[in-house]
Amino acid sequence: MKRVVITGIGIVSPTGTGKESFLYSLKNGESGIKLVPQLETLNFNCRIGGIPKTNGSLYLPLLEKYNLVHAGSTVLFALLSGLEAWDDAGLTMPEYNSSETDPETGIIIGSGIGSMDIIGDTLIPLVKQGKHRRLKSTSVEQLLFSAPGACLSGVLAAGNICTANSNACATGTEAVLMGFEYIRQGKAKRMVVGSTEGYSPYYWAAFDALRVTASNFNDSPTKGSRPMSASACGMIPACGAGILILEELEFALLREANIYAEIAGGFLNCGGQRNGGTMTAPSSEGVIRCIAGALTDANINASEIDCISGHLSSTMADPLEIRNWTIALKRQGQDFPYINSLKSMTGHCLGATGAIETIAAVLELKNRFIHPSINCEDVHPEIAGLIDINKIPAVIIENADLRYIAKTSFGFGDVNACLILKKHS
């Protein structure tokens, strides 16, 4: 089987658009959560959220050539992060009029929801008014669930597989694993993978109605997302995109690419919505089996995991997630690895979260640090009973001797994804 490395990253997130600004916030523990006035107008319980800024992106002039500047946010976030990742990998942007395609490069870009902004803001109002003739010619291509990858492939002239996956909040991590498998099996040399979730109050409303969002922090937005804290009272909705360039190791070495990290292995499964697992709650058995499967796939022992990038979404499920980790790794107290949650700063970017968090983990491995998990000054007592609370860094840990990071994502449907990232040496 082929070995797979990460050679490029691109990001549009509430804590920064572009690798440099994201890395700065990541190291400094800066929250990207703000008051969203529109949610106040619409009587939401949770009126704060994480919405990336994309104005001023270097890639907007290029997108103009392809008539993509006015794409909805789901597609636009994927395009901006995808083009950044391509550049970051040191790859050449194809000419607009060139007839060459790249059969070695494939694309898998997922989303949890799809282009709800286009549906809610344009499609439904015009159809209801009997004015569907006014829909732009790009409506169909923007509505496609595969639109983010399809639009990106048009710019990159990518000629291998081009598709979209969807698996709730595990979507991003799943996309990375799917691309990894594709290269591992020798079906492609390079894969552009990741996930995107656009901004729209319409689908945020469904989470708000389900009462899974935090409503106690509308006056102090940056304190709202507090994974592993005793005062965590729900997730903070957010959006964005993260795209990674994966390459076969030999292929990357041949072109002397900058290598961020290696993907050592991973596992995808479902708890089957039994034994405590439901549509919205995870089955511990399923989670533990997923983590064990990833360790086996990566051919490493549980003792070798140095850090966990948790799913940890600032809900009642956080203590259960820690308990599952202690069982899966057979490690607790001081023996437990470091653990952090990017969602403490970005909020929960839903379908995009797995890819964004994978990028954070990749940056940690490459730059030898462990990012802080903020707003956890009051560690949940159940968690404090399981692990040494110093394993949850309140501030950055520099010069960290990291070899393996485990990245997990869990989603509605009782679905699980676990990725094992390895330092490249």
Among 64-72, 150-158, 313-321, 381-389, which window interacts with another protein (CB under 8 A)?
64-72
In the numeric block, which tokens belong to residue 47? 């009126």
Of 371, 343, 106, nearest to 243 by C-alpha is 106
Minimum CB–partner distance for residue 193 and another protein (Å): 28
In the chain the first and final C-alpha atoms are separated, in Å, by 19
- Cβ proximity to another protein, 136 vs 211, nearer residue: 136
Q: How far is CA 130 from the centre of its chain?
A: 38
- Cβ proximity to another protein, 143 vs 230, nearer residue: 143
Among 7-15, 32-40, 133-141, 359-367, which window interacts with another protein (CB under 8 A)?
133-141
Residue 129 interacting with another protein (CB under 8 A): no
Minimum CB–partner distance for residue 137 and another protein (Å): 4
Among 61-69, 178-186, 277-285, 417-425, which window interacts with another protein (CB under 8 A)?
61-69
Q: Which of 233, 239, 348, 380 is catalytic?
A: 348
Grouping H, G, I as helix, E, B as strand and the rest as coil, residue 124 is helix
* Count, residues near another protein per rule CB under 8 A: 9
Minimum CB–partner distance for residue 142 and another protein (Å): 12
Q: Which of 151, 239, 270, 311 is catalytic?
A: 311
Residue 20 interacting with another protein (CB under 8 A): no
Burial 99-135 (b: 16+ CB within 10 A, else e): eeebebbbbbbbbbbbbbbbbeebbeebeeeeeeeeb
CB < 8 Å & 24+ apart, contacts of 215-220: 215/45, 215/46, 217/48, 218/35, 218/46, 218/47, 218/48
In the numeric block, which tokens belong to residue 292? 């064990």
Residue 2 DSSP symbol: -
Q: Which of 46, 151, 162, 169 is catalytic?
A: 169
Pick from 65, 132, 211, 368 the residue near another protein by CB under 8 A: 65
Minimum CB–partner distance for residue 275 and another protein (Å): 51
Residue 53 interacting with another protein (CB under 8 A): no
- Cβ proximity to another protein, 138 vs 258, nearer residue: 138
Residue 348 designated active-site: yes
Residue ranges in 72-101 that form contacts with another protein under rule CB under 8 A: 96
Minimum CB–partner distance for residue 20 and another protein (Å): 29
Question: Which residue carries 């494939």 as its tokens?
Answer: 106
Residue 137 interacting with another protein (CB under 8 A): yes
- Cβ proximity to another protein, 136 vs 368, nearer residue: 136
Minimum CB–partner distance for residue 72 and another protein (Å): 16
Of 237, 233, 168, nearest to 410 by C-alpha is 168
Yes or no: say if 150 and 122 are a contact pair by the CB < 8 Å rule. no
Q: How far is CA 88 from the centre of its chain?
A: 18
Q: In 275-352, where does DSSP find H-type helix?
A: 284-298, 318-329, 343-346
* E-state strands within 99-248: 105-110, 162-163, 190-197, 240-248
Minimum CB–partner distance for residue 413 and another protein (Å): 36
Which residues have C-beta within 8 Å of that of residue 165, sequence separation ≥ 6?
108, 110, 171, 174, 175, 178, 195
Residue 136 interacting with another protein (CB under 8 A): yes
Among 131-139, 190-198, 225-233, 403-411, which window interacts with another protein (CB under 8 A)?
131-139
Among 8-16, 60-68, 82-90, 199-207, which window interacts with another protein (CB under 8 A)?
60-68
Residue 169 designated active-site: yes
* Torsion from C-alpha of 302, 308, 313, 315, nearest 10 degrees: 50
Pick from 40, 41, 53, 64 the residue near another protein by CB under 8 A: 64
Q: Whole-angstrom Cα distance, residue 15 to residue 407?
A: 19
In the numeric block, which tokens belong to residue 268? 């995808």
Q: For the beta carbon of residue 421, count every other beta carbon within 10 angstroms.
A: 28
Residue 126 interacting with another protein (CB under 8 A): no
Pick from 41, 90, 124, 134 the residue near another protein by CB under 8 A: 134
Residue 70 designated active-site: no
- Point out which residues bind another protein (CB under 8 A): 64-65, 67, 96, 133-134, 136-138
Catalytic residues: 169, 311, 348
